[in-house]
Structure formats: structure tokens, C-alpha cells
Amino acid sequence: MADGSPVTRFDPYAARAQFPILSRQVNGRPLVYLDSAASAQKPRAVIDAMVGSMEGGYANVHRGLHTLANETTEAFEAARESVARFLNAEAASNIVWAKGGTEAINLVAAGIGQSIEPGDEIIVSEMEHHSNIVPWHLLRERHGAVLKWIPVLDDGSVDMAAYADLLGPRTKVVAVTHMSNVLGTINPVRKITEMARDAGARVLIDGCQGAVHAAPDVQAIGCDFYVFTGHKLYGPSGIGALYGTAEALGALPPYQGGGEMIETVERDRVTYAKPPHRFEAGTPPIVEAIGLGAAIEWLSQFDKAAITAHEQALYNHARARLDGVNWLKVVGEAEGKGAILTFTVDGAHAHDIAQVMDRYGVAVRAGLHCAEPLAKRFGLTSSARASFALYNTTEDADAFADALIKAREFFA
């Protein structure tokens, strides 16, 4: 567990049974949910924690003196402690609540932007999600920052030699994903961070996928900032977290103004709270934070390596079932990648493939996956994506392959 308790042997069927929605049918067939990279389903532990908070112990946090306020504050801050343990942060004070990974990145970009000068450089990779591109574009538009792009190689890995060449005296920020939501590539974030720090740059890691499927140890990575979102980590939407070192958070100005983020407010001046509360203006997403804490505690009972091996086995099984077909193109095959299978089918649009597969109860994603520069890099206007999670089974992988073959036959 996240508190150091012994882990439980991972049984995917027992884990799956804890997700109520996975027992339903779609179009008269058992649901095969392979869209977890977009948003994962929620176990009973998360549902119960959130309902229990609303039914038996809800109030606003931090400022109340009555019993319900104290109970809710304890649960809210216990969730922050869970996040800190999960990321191996130095302390809970290194964790800032946000409404998701997107807001967390915007918080950092807005703060850094106040010291950005024309010509300062920000490095991102071609595989970034729009959430880790657009906030930096705002600094380009408003402050004259220059965006530089780490190329992606044909196998879906980042070009580290090209990255080394991009670093320079004007580099202020390096912002890269821990794991690509399209390619499944797990980036060498520790090495990327080391190189950036040697150049004197801040480093932000987008861990929205990596926190689920990779190793989100922020002290081992050495980054200034690490962000992730709750809804991909088997928790609720509307909640995410930003990790920052004490020094990095202390250097950021406030992001929003309001209650909670201040020490004093007078007619002619304001003084601000220390991190993390400096960045948590207003009433926070209390129930959602409690739900995320429950998700992390639930997930932490299992052996992480066993989950990773299970997901990879499902990916390999699906690939083996489709081995030899000449109408399928897989996008992204970097060594050590996670269990995300993005593909195109000759003669059929990805949206059409996804709709036909849905007739067989199989849920996959189709489109640009909020990564348009990456799609252009591979010459794609759309692709389909199956993303495996801990609750998927071999039967799901077989159902995916069967449905995809039938979908192809439909358009052949």
C-alpha cells in the first residue's frame, strides 16, 4: 500500500470484479473497455469513498472549527499525503491540488511566463498531448518565447541526439511526457531531466499516462515539476495534482486569486500563503480529492510490476492475434513501450472502425488523440487506439482482435 503495507497478489479477474461498470453490456454484448488512456473506470473503493464523504462527513475544509469541517479537512489532507507517497515526493507540501493535468501545466506555465523574455526557449517533444503544447504556445504568443521540438523517430522514440543539440543558454523550460498517450512510448525522463538541468532549465514532466503505467518517482527523476490527473488513475475527473520541489514552487507567483491562497488582505496590499496553498484559491474539489486518494490507496495494494507485466501480456496477445495481416499499420513500436496499441486500417477511416467495433461491445478511441503534431509527423489524419488497463483480460484482447477483423471485413 501507499503507506508501506504489504502488497496483495495481483489477480486481474478479482480486480476487474471491483469495477461495477464492467459488468454491463453494450449492444447486447459484454463491454470490452479499451479506452482507459482517455479515462479509466472507477473501482468500488473510489465510489464508496466519494459517496461516503457526501453522505456522512462533508463540509468545507481548513477554516471550520466544527466536527464535520475537521473530519473533512483530515480526509482531504490525507489524500494529499497519499499523492506524496505515490510520487515519492519529499513531503505533502510539495503537492498542489489542481482540477486536472491540464490546469497543473497551465499553472506552471503561467507562473514561469511572468519571467519569460523574448527569445527564451521552451523545448517540447513532437509526441506531446495538446495540454503540454498549448500552454507553452501562449507564452510564445504573449511573451515572445521560442518553441523548439524534439523529433520523434520512426519507432516512436524521442531523438535524444537531436534533443542534446536543442539545449542551449536560452533554454528556460523542458516539458515532456513521461509516457505518450498515442505511441505508448515511455521516455527516458531521468536522462532528459539531467540534460536539461545541466543546461540550467526547469523541467516539467507530464505524467498523466506515466503515473498510471510507468514509475512516477519524482526524486529519482529529479524534475522540478510532475503533473498527473485523477481520472486516468482510476479516480474521479475534476481532480489532479502538481508536484514541485520546494524551490521550484517557491519561485512561482500565484496562479489565481481568492480565499485560501492568502495570508492577509488589506486595502493597499496582499500577502500570499506559502505553497501549496498559494496555488489553491477558493473552495477546492474536496470530494474529488478524497476519491483520488482512495484510488491511489486501492491501486497501491497491488504489485506494480505484476500489473505492468499483465498489461504488456495483453498487448502482446492482441498483437499476436493480428500477426501477419497486411491491412493493419501499428503506430509506435519503441522498445519498452506501454500497453497502448494505436493503429490504422487500410481502406477504412478510424472513426468508422471504432463505430463498427462498438457494435461488438468493444470500446476504442479514434481521432487525433489531442496530439496533432504527432499525427502530422506520421502522416496521419486519424488513427484508432486500444489502451489496456489492469482490469482487462485475455478475453478482452481476443474480443478486440475478433471485432477488428470483423470491422475490416465490413469495409473490405
Instruction: Just list the catalytic residues.
Output: 370
Report the distance separating Cα 160 and Cα 166, nearest Å.
10
Report the distance separating Cα 34 and Cα 54, nearest Å.
30
Could you tell me which of 388, 404, 398 has the C-alpha nearest to residue 16? 388
**Which grid coordinates belong to 175?**
516539458
Residues with Cβ within 8 Å of 360's Cβ and at least 6 positions away in sequence, in order, are 27, 29, 32, 399, 402, 403, 406
Q: Is the peptide bond before 118 cis (omega within 30 degrees of 0)?
A: no
What phi-psi label fits residue 277: left (phi over 0), alpha (psi between -120 and 50 degrees) or beta? alpha
Residue 156 CA to its chain's centroid (Å): 18
Inter-CA distances, 105 with 51, 114, 212, Å: 29, 15, 18
Report the distance separating Cα 355 and Cα 273, nearest Å.
50
Q: In a 3-state reduction of DSSP, which class is residue 178?
A: coil
Report the distance separating Cα 355 and Cα 358, nearest Å.
5
Could you tell me which of 165, 161, 163, 139 has the C-alpha nearest to residue 176? 163
Our CA angle for 341, 345, 351, nearest 5°, is 85
For β-strands 365-367 and 383-387, DSSP reports them as antiparallel
Q: Are 363 and 26 in contact (CB under 8 A)?
A: yes
Name the DSSP class of 131. Answer: G
